[in-house]
């Protein structure tokens, strides 16, 4: 009985890990054409322009920031007066919008998933996948996702090609490889979790957090940061989202960096912070599970 249980556990682990195992990919990728994603060389992996990705992220992060306005006093004190004034005006507008339904003295406190729905028109969450032995998956739990919308982000520590990741990679199915060889470790357990927390604490500037570490907990503040749980498509389940790499611009608002679920492993790197978002390939309805393409081939 113990042997059967152990065998079942090993089989489940293999089903989740095999998509990262190079020999398995080499033998099976050509037999499953629907699990491949071909993109032209000139566009790389860009489904939508980086400007659109930035606009969507800023929209969501601003809504999160305003919702937590009363708890951001230590940050607001250090911001330029023009920026503080802008947020005060936005907060007044927000309160006036809510006034018909809620007394402003008892303003409703929204959860991150509700803020996402109010901002982009949908919410997502981790649930048991519809695929056998796939563990957790990500579902659209409310609303509607239009084609070309950023529906999720892939959180984790970002490693340059030359940086050590051997011990973190052992038995770890959550390591994402970018087209240029950079790696993002999206594991929320074990050594990976310890490394991310350490890097996040290292980079904090006074009250300004340079990254979001709540995706490592059950109480996430950025509701998009569940992309590592999006499962690979199959011959029966076509991909409805795809990965798109996005480098955070230098002028990204300092007060919004607390919602970025990525951190560089090396503190002194000159490269911009690499993020990976998942973009809807088609309209996605409420109740659908998100499926991506693990294999991207550049033509």
Q: Check residues 256 and 28 and name the one with the higher pLDDT.
A: 256
SS3 annotation, 204-251: CECCECCCCCHHHCCCCCCCCCCHHHCEECCCCCCCCEEEEEEECCCC
- What percentage of residues in the chain have a pLDDT greater than 70? 80
Q: What are the φ/ψ torsions at residue 94 (nearest 5 degrees)?
A: -60, -45
Residue 29 has pLDDT above 90, yes or no: no
Provide the residue ranges of all domains of the chain, joining segments of one domain with +.
38-298
Which residue's structure tokens are 């978002």?
277
For residue range 250-270, what is the model confidence (pLDDT) as tens digits? Answer: 999 999 999 999 999 998 878
pLDDT at 104: 46
Residue 49 clears pLDDT 70, i.e. is over it: yes
Whole-number Cα distances in Å, 95 to 65, 83, 98, 103: 14, 19, 5, 9
The residue whose two tokens read 């929209």 is 59
Q: Which residues in 9-133 belong to E strands, given as ranges?
A: 36-39, 122-128
Best CA proximity match to 20, nearest among 223, 149, 187, 202: 187
Q: Determine which helix (DSSP H) or strand (DSSP E) holds 96, and give its type and residue range.
A: helix 81-98
**Across 54-63, 102-111, 160-169, 247-256, least confident range:** 102-111
Of 219 and 42, the structure prediction assigns the larger pLDDT to 219
How confident is the model over 64-92, as pLDDT tens digits? Answer: 998 887 677 777 777 777 777 777 776 66
For residues 194-227, one letter each, b for 16 or more C-beta atoms within 10 angstroms of the residue's C-beta and e for the rest, the string is ebbeebbeeeeeeeebbbbbbbbeeebbbbbbbb
CATH architecture of 38-298: Beta Complex (2.170)
What is the mean predicted confidence (pLDDT) over 4-30? Answer: 63
Confidence at residue 105, expressed as pLDDT on a 0 to 100 scale: 47
pLDDT 10s digits, 140-184 = 999 999 999 999 999 999 999 999 898 998 889 899 999 889 999
CA proximity to 86, closest of 298, 253, 280? 253
Q: In what order do the strands lie in the sheet with 175-177?
A: 175-177, 183-185, 156-159, 262-264
295-298 and 36-39 beta bridge pairing: parallel
Which is it for strands 136-143 and 122-128: parallel, antiparallel or unpaired? antiparallel
Closest among 141, 88, 124 to 230, alpha carbons compared: 124
Dig out the tokens for 194 from the structure. Answer: 């310890």
The separation between CA 70 and the C-alpha centre of its own chain, rounded to angstroms, equals 26
Confirm if 212 and 221 have CB atoms less than 8 A apart: yes
Hey, what are 140's tokens?
A: 């659209």
């Amino acid at each position: 009985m113990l042997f059967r249980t152990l065998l079942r556990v090993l089989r489940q682990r293999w089903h989740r890990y095999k998509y990262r195992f190079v020999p398995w990919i080499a033998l099976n990728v050509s037999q499953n054409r629907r699990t491949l994603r071909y993109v032209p060389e000139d566009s790389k992996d860009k489904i939508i322009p980086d400007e659109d990705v930035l606009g969507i992220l800023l929209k969501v992060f601003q809504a999160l920031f305003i919702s937590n306005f009363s708890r951001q006093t230590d940050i607001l004190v250090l911001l330029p007066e023009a920026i503080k004034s802008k947020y005060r005006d936005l907060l007044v507008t927000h309160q006036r919008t809510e006034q018909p339904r809620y007394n402003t003295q008892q303003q409703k406190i929204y959860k991150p998933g509700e803020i996402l729905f109010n901002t982009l028109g949908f919410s997502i969450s981790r649930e048991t996948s519809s695929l056998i032995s796939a563990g957790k998956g990500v579902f659209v739990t409310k609303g509607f996702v239009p084609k070309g919308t950023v529906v999720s982000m892939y959180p984790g520590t970002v490693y340059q090609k030359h940086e050590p990741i051997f011990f973190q990679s052992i038995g770890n199915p959550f390591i994402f490889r970018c087209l240029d060889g950079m790696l993002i470790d999206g594991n929320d357990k074990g050594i990976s979790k310890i490394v991310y927390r350490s890097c996040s604490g290292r980079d904090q500037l006074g009250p300004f957090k340079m990254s979001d570490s709540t995706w490592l907990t059950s109480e996430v503040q950025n509701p998009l940061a569940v992309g590592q749980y999006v499962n690979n498509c199959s011959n029966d389940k076509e991909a409805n989202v795809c990965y798109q790499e996005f480098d955070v611009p230098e002028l990204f608002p300092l007060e919004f960096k607390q919602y970025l679920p990525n951190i560089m492993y090396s503190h002194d790197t000159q490269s911009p912070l690499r993020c990976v978002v998942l973009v809807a390939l088609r309209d996605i309805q409420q109740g659908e599970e998100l499926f991506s393409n693990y294999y991207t081939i550049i033509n």
